[in-house]
Structure formats: C-alpha cells, structure tokens
C-alpha cells in the first residue's frame, strides 16, 4: 500500500514562540492518534532574526506544563522549497498569512491558511507581553491543532488511518 505522507508547516514571525508550540502540540496529537508515519510536522518563521535558536524559554515552559517537550527545536526561516514540500502551511495570525502569501510562488499546491480559520481569529503574538499570554497561546494552539488533525484525517483515505 502506498502511503501519501501529509506534511504540515506551522509559521509565525520569529519561529520561537507560537509556531514551535503549535509544532510540538500538533505532533503530540499526531502521536496520540498513532499517525507519526503518515504526518510530518515542522515550523518556520517569516523573519530570520532567530535562526538557529531554541524556542523562547516561556514557550518551552508552557509546553512542559502540558507534557510536551519542544526544547530540541531550532528556529529557521520560511524558504521557497517549503511551498513545494508542505501540503499545509498554517499561519498563526493574519499578518503572518499575508507575509507567507507574498512569498509564495505564483504556482504552488500548498494549502495556506490561518490556524484558526473557522473563527477567522489570530493566535496573538506573546513576545513582548506577560507570561499569561503564553497560556492563551497554548489554549488556542491546542484547540486549533486538534481541529486541524481531524480535518486532515477526514481527507486521508480510510485505509491509511
């Protein structure tokens, strides 16, 4: 049986706060569903400022509180190849979405959209705010990534899941 691997990329601005948390929490949902072989997960930032850095300590600690380890992730910038490699490119907020769309090649097959597409809501940037902002990001990311996984499962062939 040929399995088509689905590849999902979470994107924010710096790739140190929101998208690493989304990557870690989504991967956690994927593992719980037993779909690690079928779904590949990564994250990136539209900016290059933090390339090579670990996630922000506040994101690492927020993830840890919920049993998710994101401490081994390393920030990278969104690149042209991502638009060929990934089936889903998931933006944390409307500004990320327009930056991704501006970078996208004219012809591409990636499904580019907001994490909280149904609600048309942003995952707010917590970088300059208080620690509680990270709890809010976690709650939004947990629900958004859970719904995304259900959507992807519905698109997969019944024989694959």
Interaction between residue 14 and ligand 4NP (CB under 6 A) = yes
Q: In what order do the strands lie in the sheet with 111-114?
A: 39-45, 6-12, 88-91, 111-114
The answer to whether the CB of 95 falls within 8 A of the CB of 13 is yes
Within 92-151, the residues that bind ligand 4NP by CB under 6 A are 125, 127
Q: Give the bridge partners for 71, in sequence order.
A: none
- Find the part of the chain contacting ligand 4NP (CB under 6 A) among 12-20, 28-36, 97-105, 106-114: 12-20
Closest listed residue to residue 5, CA positions, set 36, 51, 44: 36
Interaction between residue 27 and ligand 4NP (CB under 6 A) = no
Count of residues engaged in binding ligand 4NP, rule: CB under 6 A: 11
Interface ranges with ligand 4NP (CB under 6 A): 12-18, 45, 49, 125, 127
């Amino acid at each position: 049986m040929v399995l088509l691997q689905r590849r999902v990329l979470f994107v924010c601005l710096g790739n140190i706060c929101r998208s690493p948390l989304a990557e870690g929490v989504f991967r956690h949902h994927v593992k719980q569903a037993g779909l690690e072989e079928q779904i590949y997960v990564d994250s990136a930032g539209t900016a290059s400022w933090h390339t090579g850095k670990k996630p922000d300590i506040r994101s690492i600690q927020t993830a840890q509180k919920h049993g998710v380890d994101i401490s081994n992730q390393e920030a990278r910038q969104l690149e042209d190849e991502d638009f060929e490699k990934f089936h889903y490119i998931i933006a944390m907020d409307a500004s990320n979405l327009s930056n991704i769309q501006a970078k996208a090649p004219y012809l591409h097959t990636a499904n580019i959209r907001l994490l909280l597409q149904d609600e048309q809501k942003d995952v707010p940037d917590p970088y300059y705010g208080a620690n509680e902002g990270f709890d809010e990001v976690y709650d939004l990311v947990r629900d958004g990534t859970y719904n995304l996984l259900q959507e992807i499962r519905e698109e997969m062939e019944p024989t694959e899941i």
